[in-house]
Amino acid sequence: MTTDTAQQESIELTPQQLFRKQAAGEAILPNEEDSVHRHVITVLIDDTIGALNRVTNLFSQRGFNLESVTVGESKDPTQRRLTLVTTGNDRIIAQVLRQLNSLVDTTEVEDLTREDHVERELCLVKVRSSATERTALLSVVEVFRANVVNITPDSLTFEVTGPTAKINAFIGVMKDYDVREVARSGRVAMRRRLAFEH
């Protein structure tokens, strides 16, 4: 299809077809791309066998992206809290939220992306370093407030916590050294305020 005919087709859209595309976050012009965003979603699920499975299964079943998922205990011992990171256009994100909500195991689903929220990720990095290199390395990681959690004669293991951008920056700096292993927790997130504070 040439650009001219493509342009023409887009002009021929009815007002309703335009509305639908905008509501879905889909491209209006043929050479445009869908407006895809990254979303952070927190989910409370019952602490039962198979509940986590149902959540992750939903993503593969429905063809949604799942960038990271963290799971752990919540305030309530009968519930676990998940933080999911997913991407998609508005129609897909709305679907992710509705489908998550319709699972019997989920009690609360919240998209934090447009809310004022904090995000943290934990990362462990193991770097090969001899005793002579150690001091230089330690002064670099100091900038990131990374902790040394283990030392062996040949290696150092750091722990760094922060927003994903900080973790990415830290790993970027460490690439100048002999990185042997990286383990990231994936994001956990929470609203800054209580629900009634606005």
Partner 1 sequence: MSQQAHTAQTATAPSADMTATDRPLATGAEILIRSLEAEGVEYVFGHPGGAVIAIYDEMHRLQPSFEHILVRHEQGGTHAAEGYAKATGKVGTVLVTSGPGATNCVTGIADAYMDSIPLVVFTGQVPTHLIGNDAFQECDTIGVTRSITKHSFLVRDVTELAATVKKAYHLARTGRPGPVVVDLPKDVIAARAPFHYPENVQIRGYSVIGRGNVDQVRKAADMIAASKKPLFYVGGGTIISGGAEKLTALAHKTSIPVTTTLHGLGSFPETDPLSVGMLGMHGTWYANMAVQNTDLLIAVGARFDDRVTGKIEAWAPHARIIHIDIDPACISKNIPVDCPILGDVSMVLDQLEELVQPADRSDWLGQIAAWREECPLIFERDGALRPQQVVQALRGKTNGEAVVVTDVGQNQMWGAQFFSYVHPRSHITSGGLGTMGFSLPAAMGAAFGMRTIGRDVISINGDGGVLMNIQELGVAAAHKLPLKVVILNNNFLGMVRQWQELFHEERYSHTNLEPTNPDFVKLAEAFGCVGLQCTDPADVDSTLDAAWEITDRPVVMDFRVITEEKVFPMVPAGAATDNMITAQFSPEDCA
Instruction: Kindly state whether residue 105 participates in binding partner 1, applying the rule CB under 8 A.
Output: yes
Q: Which is nearer to partner 1, 54 or 184 (CB)?
A: 54
Q: Which is nearer to partner 1, 54 or 120 (CB)?
A: 54
Instruction: Kindly state whether residue 8 participates in binding partner 1, applying the rule CB under 8 A.
Output: no
- Position among 16, 132, 135, 139 found at the interface with partner 1 (CB under 8 A): 16
Q: Which is nearer to partner 1, 56 or 157 (CB)?
A: 56
Q: Which is nearer to partner 1, 23 or 151 (CB)?
A: 23
- Find how far residue 147's CA is from the centre of its chain: 24
Structure tokens at 88: 């998609």
Instruction: Kindly state whether residue 24 participates in binding partner 1, applying the rule CB under 8 A.
Output: yes
Instruction: Kindly state whether residue 42 participates in binding partner 1, applying the rule CB under 8 A.
Output: no
Residues with Cβ within 8 Å of 111's Cβ and at least 6 positions away in sequence, in order, are 39, 40, 41, 93, 97
> In the complex, which residues of this chain contact partner 1 (CB under 8 A)?
14, 16-17, 19-20, 23-24, 45-46, 49-50, 53-54, 57, 61, 91, 94-95, 98-99, 101-107
